Amino acid sequence: MIIEALIAVTFLAALVTFVVPNRYAGKAAFALSLAPVVGSLYMWQQYDASGNALLGGNIAFETDVAWLQLGQYDIHWMVGVDGISMPLVVLTTILTTLAIVSAWTPISERQSQFFGLMLLMEANLLGVFTALDFFVWFIFWEAVLLPMYFLIGVWGGPRRKYAAIKFFVYTNIASLVMFIGFISLVFGLGDSISSFRLPEIAQALQAGQLGSFAGLSAGALASVAFIAMFFGFAVKVPVAPLHTWLPDAHVEAPTPVSVMLAGVLLKMGTYALLRFNFTMLPETARAFALPIALLAVASVIYGALLALAQQDLKRIVAYSSVSSMGYVILGLIAYTTYGVGGATFQMVAHGLISGLMFMAVGVIYNTTHTRMVSDMSGIADRMPVTAGIFVAGAFGYMGLPLMAGFAAEFFIFKGAFESTVMEAMPLFTGAAMFGIVIVAGYLLFAMQRTLFGPFRFDGDYDITEAPFHDVAPLAVLLLLTIVLGVSPDIFFTMIQDAVNPILELGGAF
């Protein structure tokens, strides 16, 4: 029941925030958002799952109640967590609270609606990461889009309308394709399943129950469904060349929304890829290893090169997210314990570090009202604390040892080198590792030009250190990044425990 309570409390917090007067909405939302943080930490402390939730593992905090009988298959209210979803639940609650605090300064109108939508989005995100029935999952998955659409569209920058519509159209089309792909897979299973519960579907697929549907043989159906689902999730991740909505959305979104978008929403895509494509159809995934690895490396390199070409600090961080998500895909397709486990770990690590980077850019923007690299220089003189954290975060991004990014990328590369899915995997890994060099290049370049050197600022604003409540979330994120980097086992043990059953299916243990 604790998962239901967690989601319900967050929903209630959203509703309360909607009616709180604008002046107090930010503070109220912060106070209310502490409840889910405490709840998720309590869940983590009580966590007792083992194995993978979809593959017969022992699920923590499981609820399974029949909800709807629609035709052939029942829909159940089924929620629970395992080692893959538990870290993401903790990440979601903590990052939302920090994003809410970071929104106190930049959000100056319609605050109660803004903070209400943030909490509404958090509730749905928690649903996405805990749902174990396809329909429950899909409803939450889609429901995340609506608050995001408004958050970008109402509080965004000058081109917010375009960005919001683009985000909405891209992700909805992707959802539809994915939905059709998955449903045809379910129909292909015929009578071997009785409901949309993901564990039941995954286990029926492992047992080879897939039949033909709509004129497609079982093998062709698996391929078509895999491609449809991969497309749907790849838009969300995003994987190049489906990434073009991301920079627009990030640049136009207000900083706290960017934090949520990069920190948690992108992880929905990689989480779903792991849960659906790579857990349910491992043979098909291995058959498609070459194109997937190509896409992964293309995302890493192309995203990094695009970041190198940007003048806008936020665009730099946005494109570097594309690059980082490429590593996740590479780790997933490796089908080794360090590859898939590292990819899952990277979801959390990147959530913290990209959140940190976006927030740092936001804090600088709050003061300077510009994000253009060419407009400023030597900001570190006037904002030493912010600049210091920015530099630390950037090094985390580059993969400085003892920070979370290093552990994640190290796991992924180790896993990818060991991979047996195809002969050329080390080649792809080597190519992807080159991305790190470019990351270091553009981050160092951007920092050198904006933060250091003689102070220069082409604007009329007084540049002084940011207020405490702007810097505090940055410090918390930095601390968490270091903690996770020093002892990755906090999460990595449970992740590996949940990931290993998948590898046995992939045959590449």
Partner 1 sequence: MTPLQTLPEWAATAPAIVLALTGLALLLIDTIDPDSTNNGLLAGTATLGALAAGGIAGWFLIGGTGMESTGGAISLYGDALVVDGMSLFFTLIFTSVAAMVTVASYDYLADEPHQGEFYSLVIFATTGMTLMGMSNSLATVFISLELASLPSYALVAFLKKDRGSIEAGLKYFLIGALSSAVFAFGISLVFAVTGSLVLPEVAASLAEGTELVGVLGLGVLMIAGGFAFKTASVPFHFWAPEAYEGAPAPVSAFLSSASKAAGFAVAFRVFTVAFPLETVTAVGGGSVDWSLLFAVLAVVTMTLGNFAAATQNNVKRMLAYSSIGHAGYALIGLAAITTDGGAANGDVLGASMAHLFVYGFMNTGAFLFIAMVEKWGLGRTFEDYNGIASKAPIAASAMTVFMFSLAGLPPFGGFFSKYALFESAIGSGFWWLAAVGAVNSALSLFYYSRVVKAMWIEEPSKPLEIGSQPVGLYVAIIFAAVGTVLLLPGFQPVIETAQTVAAALF
Query: What is the CB neighbour count within 10 angstroms for residue 133?
Result: 24
Question: 317-341 burial, b if ≥16 CB within 10 A, otherwise e?
Answer: bbbbbbbbbbbbbbbbbbbbbbbbb
The least CB distance from residue 394 to partner 1, in Å, is: 34
Q: How far apart are CA 409 and CA 349, in angstroms?
A: 9
Nearest to 229 by CA among 141, 309, 335: 141
Select the span of 132-140, 225-233, 241-249, 458-466 touching partner 1 (CB under 8 A). 132-140
Q: Does 67 bind partner 1 (CB under 8 A)?
A: yes
DSSP secondary structure string for all residues of 375-396: GEE-HHHH-HHHHHHHHHHHHH
Could you say which residues in the range 112-131 bind partner 1, by CB under 8 A? 113
Cβ proximity to partner 1, 67 vs 410, nearer residue: 67
The one among 138, 271, 390, 428 contacting partner 1 by CB under 8 A: 138
Write down the least CB distance from residue 429 to partner 1, Å: 38
Query: Which among 51-59, 65-73, 218-226, 421-429 is the span making contact with partner 1, rule CB under 8 A?
Result: 65-73
Q: Taking contact as CB under 8 A, which single stretch among the options 93-101, 154-162, 203-211, 442-450 is the one that binds partner 1?
A: 154-162
User: Among 68, 220, 309, 437, which residue interacts with partner 1 (rule: CB under 8 A)?
Assistant: 68
**Nearer to partner 1 (CB atom), residue 110 or residue 449:** 110
Stretch that binds partner 1, among 143-151, 296-304, 391-399, 444-452 (CB under 8 A): 143-151
Residue 187 or 457 with smaller CB distance to partner 1: 187
Chain Cα centroid distance, residue 145? 14
List 8, 23, 65, 69, residue binding partner 1 (CB under 8 A): 69
Q: Rule CB under 8 A: is residue 44 a binding residue for partner 1?
A: no
Cis peptide before 238 (omega within 30 of 0): yes
DSSP bridge partners of 323? none
| CB 228 to partner 1: min, Å | 12
Q: Which range, of 61-69, 286-294, 306-314, 463-471, touches partner 1 by CB under 8 A?
A: 61-69
Instruction: Specify the DSSP element, H or E, that contains 79.
Output: strand 73-81
Q: How many residues bind partner 1 (CB under 8 A)?
A: 29
In contact, 374 and 453? CB cutoff 8 Å: no
Nearest partner of 298 among 326, 270, 273, 318, judged by Cα: 326
Q: Which amino acid is it at 296?
A: A
Q: Coil, strand, or helix at residue 23?
A: helix
For 435, half-sphere exposure in the C-beta direction (CA atoms, 13 angstrom radius) is 31
- Per-residue CA distances from 403 to 91, 93, 113, 463 (Å): 16, 21, 36, 30
Q: Which of 48, 191, 214, 464 binds partner 1 (CB under 8 A)?
A: 214
Select 140 or 411, whichever has its Cβ closest to partner 1.
Answer: 140
Q: Output the CA angle 427-433-436, nearest 5 degrees.
A: 160
Supply the minimum distance, in Å, between the C-beta of residue 336 and partner 1: 36
**72 is a site residue for partner 1 (CB under 8 A):** yes
Backbone angles phi, psi at 60, to 5 degrees: -85, 145
Closer residue to partner 1 (CB): 174 or 285: 174
Q: Which is nearer to partner 1, 188 or 399 (CB)?
A: 188
How many Cα atoms sit within 13 Å of 117 on the Cβ side? 21
Q: Which of residues 488-507 bind partner 1 (CB under 8 A)?
A: none
Applying CB under 8 A, which of residues 150, 271, 406, 411 lies at the interface with partner 1?
150
- 161-200 mask for partner 1 (x: CB under 8 A)? x--xx--xx--xx--x---x------x-------------
Distance, in Å, from the CA atom of 62 to the CA atom of 1, rounded to the nearest integer, reads 8
Does position 110 interact with partner 1 (CB under 8 A)? The reply is yes
Least gap, CB of 145 to partner 1 (angstroms): 8
Does 216 bind partner 1 (CB under 8 A)? Our answer is: no
Residue 154 or residue 400: which is nearer to partner 1 going by CB? 154
CB of 242 to partner 1, least distance (A): 17
C-alpha span between 339 and 342 (Å, rounded)? 5
Taking Cα atoms as reference points, which of 184, 183, 223, 189 lies closest to residue 203? 189
Sequence letter at residue 143:
A
Q: Do 228 and 178 meet the contact criterion of CB atoms below 8 Å apart?
A: yes
User: Given the rule CB under 8 A, which of 23-31, 69-77, 203-211, 488-496 is the region that contacts partner 1?
Assistant: 69-77
Phi/psi of residue 197, each to 5°? Answer: -65, 130
**Taking the CA atoms of the chain, what radius of gyration do you get in angstroms?**
22
- Least Å distance, CB 142 to partner 1, is 4
What residues line the site for partner 1 (CB under 8 A)?
67-72, 110, 113, 138-140, 142-143, 146, 150, 153-154, 160-161, 164-165, 168-169, 172-173, 176, 180, 187, 214
